[in-house]
Structure 1
Amino acid sequence: MTVRRGPLVVVGDVLLDVDVHGSARRTCPDASAPVVDVASRERRPGGAGLAASIAARANAEVVLVTGVGGQAGADVVRLLGDRVRLAGLPFSGETPGKTRIRSGGRTLLRADSGDGRVLDGPLDPELPGLLRSAGAVLVSDYGRGATANPFLRRALRQLPADVPLVWDPHPRGGVPVGRADLVVPDLAEAVAFTGGSDVDDPALLARALLRRWGCGGVAVTLGAAGAVVVPQAVTGRIPVQPAPPGADACGSGDCFAVITALALADGADPVEAVTEGVRRAGRFVASGGAAQLSEPEPRPGNGGTGTAFEVAERVRRDGGRLVVTGGCFDLLHPGHVRLLERARELGDALVVCLNSDDSVRRIKGAHRPLVGHADRKRLLEALESVTAVVVFDESSPCALLERLRPDVWVKGDDYDVATLPEAEVVHRHGGRTVLVPQIAGYSTSRLLTSLRSAG
């Protein structure tokens, strides 16, 4: 098979997955239900969004074709960040969410919300061309309308013969198109699709589905037992790497489908691709499953979730004080952390304006930054003192400050208020500038000098 040079295009329905972790040591006095004392909450893209995140983590170039809506949709987009490029499908309603309440490594309850669906309307005119230029296409169906869109189905049927198409089906989704090179149901789905026949023989299930769908091949995944793949007439059972007892298998099917699609794009035949998909899915579960891709929700003391502009609006609406600071924050060190802690003490929420990589290069030179802005942003967001981070490309954050309108603008005391262009912007909107004393001995430039001397 010819190796394709293009992105993995993931097509399907995205969800917002939330895991609530806590301890359950007592029951409700008025019902035989456990009481969970919540310790933490984590969020991640779910559905096709999880598949896209897994592919990005595998260093693939990824385009996600989906529809989103409401706050849950905005949260998914934020969680995907700049690792995944988005292409829209017509959508109505709120992006569905799935919240798992977990204790002791077990899911006690799952609560679903959101009625959003992909509509049957026409596609963006550029989308068929995007699909044709893909290295491979993965349909990640979660039964929320994407695979029922007739325009999308036509575009998938018309894919060039050398674009591998892997279809991860859903019982409430559209029937896989015959153009699919490989359809990858799990055992329960295969049983449902065949009406419950041949439950004890996955190979017979796979052959029945191959005849029904007219596709190139079917791989039925069997959890810890691996998978059975039937590309036309060849059948083989592929073992899986054992996972530790109690491992969370959430996301293993998405990982399997992603790796299988990427292997086909690299020229593997279906059996080779499924073998690699099984192997990597086993490693994925053993190393923590989908939880590896989760982000902790900010603590309530951080002012809540949302973009920098949503935080600013919420603080103003609640009569609070918004503090904003800015900088490169390359090689995060204790001096940075202390400045941010002191800044946060001055108000009810702290937004950080972060110089993009291009902005840092213009200020610091071609050798900087050492850490890309996506990773710098992630590190800052992990700090308890930081409520939100927004990246800017200009040499100064003045344009951002015009929109944020902070009550307090914070910089280190190595600056002079009289020479700060941001100070004038902040003052014009009724705010003030505060210079925070720095910790002597800490700076990125000094760290770099020490590293060079040590080398």
Structure 2
Amino acid sequence: MSVDVRLVRDLVATIDDREPLVVVIGDCILDRWTVGTAERVSREAPAPVVRVTESIAVPGGAANTAVNARALGARVRIVGLIGDDDAGTVLRERLATAGVDTSFLVEVAGARTTTKSRVVGGDRMVVRVDDLAGTPTADHDERLARAVARAVRCADAAVVCDYGLGVRAEDVVPVLDRDRPGTIVVDAHDLARWAALRPDLVTPNAGEAAALLGRDLGTGADRVPAVVAARADLLARTGARAVVVTLDRDGTVLLDRDSDEGFRTRAIPASEQQTSGAGDTFCAAATVALAVRAPLHDAVSVAQVAADVVVREAGTSVCSAAALLVSVTAPAVTVVDHDELADAVDRARRAGRRVVFTNGCFDVVHTGHTTYLRQARDLGDLLVVALNDDDSVRRLKGPERPFNPAEDRAGVLAALACVDLVTVFATDTPIPLIERLRPEVYVKGGDYSPEMLRETAVVRAYGGEVVMVDYVPEHSTTAVVRRIREAAAAAAEAQSAATAVEARPAATAADPDGAADAGTEVIPR
């Protein structure tokens, strides 16, 4: 997703200037992570043996939301139930160290603090053990309600984090109704419980939205139209002014009462990590932005950026204001999915820019490639390179190819100054992508002719231009690989000959040909 750098800079500056007061109310959790290597299986049971290299304990749940809000520049008070056990002590210390006001935490004598302990061996979580707090009593609920009443005085925003671990809507809603902060955000497993609060924003994930609707939303990007179609139901059942449904790798969809269309954000795909709490970060960032009166669309866009930051970190992580700024001021992401590419092409075309499109395997990038890509870039204003995925390369080039996976090939192309955008496609030809983008110019190397390409008819049918650029002889990937193999074979042959010469016995006066029996043993006198 592309977010205006000025938007993020201005928002961070506004938060720093105003220091809004955010109250986090909810289920406090201590996340423990035990990390190590797992190189063998136990003889006692079919389970990996993890050799521990690191153990950490960090705030989780509502406590994670609180430390994220503080890291983004807000003043933060947290209200929740904790035990007087060791986990409660550690959690309070971690929160205080992060700058969160813990004076409104309600400590329950003899109670456990909810703890989630994860053991990670190598790159895989081996087990998660949840030690849950007991059910609060009426006295605990009353103490919590009084703490909420004290904490929300003069607050700019309140966020409720309800994971079904003890915080009850019937205790909190009346208090927030009496002294309502400027913004109320709810992140809850069961949002229907909080409908009476009439939140300004609720943040269900796809599973929570499906449970609220009582129907499946599908999978992957198919969830987006399903969420938009459910707009009226989601708003009615949550009682909220706006709903943003988080869809993990597919970003989010924001629905509000002023528009029938959803506002979409797109996540930046990240490699699989042992991550936890990206939803807490998203909720915290959106709340802090709304606390300084940012428009709803801007708040959600910045929250997506914050979530993108933490999913690249292992464990339960925090996005600071500094990390947020770095993420948007770093060089633009060049490798994009098809939806992002379509948006970028549309923006370029509206700005009067000429779009040039080419495609290929680009398995081993060489002079032939770079020459033709520079020539292609000169034909327009925006050069898009579509890259065959690994399966389609195997179908086209044989089982030994590609030599480099799609992620590496895309990274190399993205580093070229002449390339503006790179995307990966799975079909044998890029025709479906060409039909969607309708580039003004379609380019291929001069080792082809227009008549050889199935794409030619498609491009010419909508009025596009097909251009063949110069071919650089002996610089195809096949030729480069052939030369590498020939050089390797020659080096191996030379090494073999040298080894044979070294193995030959040296000549002596007694044996001038150096041909003594290799099995003869000389015994000194």
TM-score tier, shorter chain, comes to 0.5 to 0.7
Task: Name whichever structure is richer in helix by fraction.
Answer: 2
Secondary structure of 2:126's match?
strand
Match of residue 43 from structure 1? 57
CA shift, 1:40, in A, is: 1.4
Whether contact under 8 Å (1:225, 1:240) holds in the other structure is: yes
CA shift, 1:31, in A, is: 2.5
Question: Take 1:173 and 1:109, find their aligned partners in 2: how far apart are those partners?
Answer: 31
Relative to structure 1, is the Cα distance of residues 99 and 61 closer, same or farther in structure 2, using a 3 angstrom cutoff? same
CA shift, 1:77, in A, is: 0.4
What's the RMSD between the two structures over aligned residues?
Answer: 2.7
Question: Take 1:117 and 1:156, find their aligned partners in 2: how far apart are those partners?
Answer: 23
Whether contact under 8 Å (2:125, 2:274) holds in the other structure is: no
CA shift, 1:46, in A, is: 1.0
CA shift, 1:5, in A, is: 6.8
TM-score (normalizing by structure 2): 0.51
Q: Which runs of 5+ in 1 are unaligned?
A: 294-455
Question: Take 1:142 and 1:281, find their aligned partners in 2: how far apart are those partners?
Answer: 19
CA shift, 1:122, in A, is: 1.9
Q: How does 1:244-259 map to 2 (within 5 A)?
A: 244-259=270-285
CA shift, 1:249, in A, is: 3.5
Q: How does 1:181-220 map to 2 (within 5 A)?
A: 181-199=200-218, 200=223, 201-220=226-245
CA shift, 1:37, in A, is: 1.5
Question: Take 1:243 and 1:289, find their aligned partners in 2: how far apart are those partners?
Answer: 17
Deviation digits for residues 229-277 of structure 1, max 9, x if unmatched?
Answer: 1111433343334243123441110000001011111112222211111
Relative to structure 1, is the Cα distance of residues 85 and 119 closer, same or farther in structure 2, using a 3 angstrom cutoff? farther
Which amino acid is 2:163 matched to? Y
Q: Is 1:143 aligned to residue 161 of structure 2?
A: no
Out of 155, 169, 186, the residue aligned to residue 188 of structure 2 is: 169
Whether contact under 8 Å (2:191, 2:238) holds in the other structure is: no
Question: Take 1:287 and 1:35, find their aligned partners in 2: how far apart are those partners?
Answer: 24
Match of residue 128 from structure 1? 149
Match of residue 443 from structure 2? none
Q: Is 1:100 aligned to residue 114 of structure 2?
A: no
Out of 30, 34, 39, the residue aligned to residue 25 of structure 1 is: 39
CA shift, 1:196, in A, is: 2.4
Question: Take 1:287 and 1:94, find their aligned partners in 2: how far apart are those partners?
Answer: 29
Relative to structure 1, is the Cα distance of residues 90 and 72 closer, same or farther in structure 2, using a 3 angstrom cutoff? closer
Deviation digits for residues 119-161 of structure 1, max 9, x if unmatched?
Answer: 443246464253141111011112111134x33221123343x
CA shift, 1:109, in A, is: 1.1
Question: Take 1:271 and 1:292, find their aligned partners in 2: how far apart are those partners?
Answer: 22
Match of residue 68 from structure 1? 82
Question: Take 1:97 and 1:29, find their aligned partners in 2: how far apart are those partners?
Answer: 29
Whether contact under 8 Å (1:10, 1:51) holds in the other structure is: yes
Whether contact under 8 Å (1:141, 1:173) holds in the other structure is: no
Q: Which runs of 5+ in 2 are unaligned?
A: 1-14, 320-525
Question: Take 2:255 and 2:117, find their aligned partners in 1: how far apart are those partners?
Answer: 35
Question: Take 1:35 and 1:246, find their aligned partners in 2: how far apart are those partners?
Answer: 22
Whether contact under 8 Å (2:191, 2:212) holds in the other structure is: no
Identical residues among aligned pairs (%) = 29
Match of residue 357 from structure 1? none
Question: Take 1:131 and 1:118, find their aligned partners in 2: how far apart are those partners?
Answer: 22
Whether contact under 8 Å (2:192, 2:237) holds in the other structure is: no
Which amino acid is 2:105 matched to? G
Question: Take 1:126 and 1:44, find their aligned partners in 2: how far apart are those partners?
Answer: 23
Q: Is 1:154 aligned to residue 174 of structure 2?
A: yes
CA shift, 1:89, in A, is: 3.9
Question: Take 2:313 and 2:54, find their aligned partners in 1: how far apart are those partners?
Answer: 20
Secondary structure of 1:68's match?
strand
Question: Take 2:133 and 2:146, find their aligned partners in 1: how far apart are those partners?
Answer: 27
Relative to structure 1, is the Cα distance of residues 176 and 101 closer, same or farther in structure 2, using a 3 angstrom cutoff? farther
CA shift, 1:29, in A, is: 1.8
Q: Is 1:285 aligned to residue 299 of structure 2?
A: no
